[in-house]
């Protein structure tokens, strides 16, 4: 659970600083933004997604 919280915190940092990739404390986050929404993954596994309607 702690790792998941840390991954989400790093993902938030990446989004707030407008970065596509960010690695902090062993968490490697990749952010994909497009017309359909936002997808956040860690080590090629999706952890969060927002889609537009």
Residue-wise pLDDT tens digits, 2-38: 888 999 999 999 999 999 999 998 899 999 999 999 9
**DSSP assignments along 1-53, one per residue:** -HHHHHHHHHHHHHHHTT-SEEEETTEEEEEEEETTEEEEEETTEEEEEEE--
Cα–Cα distance between 53 and 47 in angstroms, integer?
20
Structure tokens that stand for 50 in this block? 């927002």
Domain ranges of the chain: 2-51
Nearest to 45, CA basis, from 33, 27, 18, 19: 27
Specify the pLDDT at position 25: 87
Full-model pTM: 0.83
């Amino acid at each position: 659970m702690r790792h998941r919280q840390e991954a989400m915190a790093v993902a938030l940092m990446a989004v707030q600083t407008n970065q596509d990739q960010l690695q902090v404390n062993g968490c490697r986050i990749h952010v994909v933004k497009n017309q359909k929404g936002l997808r956040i993954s860690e080590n090629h596994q999706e952890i969060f997604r927002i889609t537009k309607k």
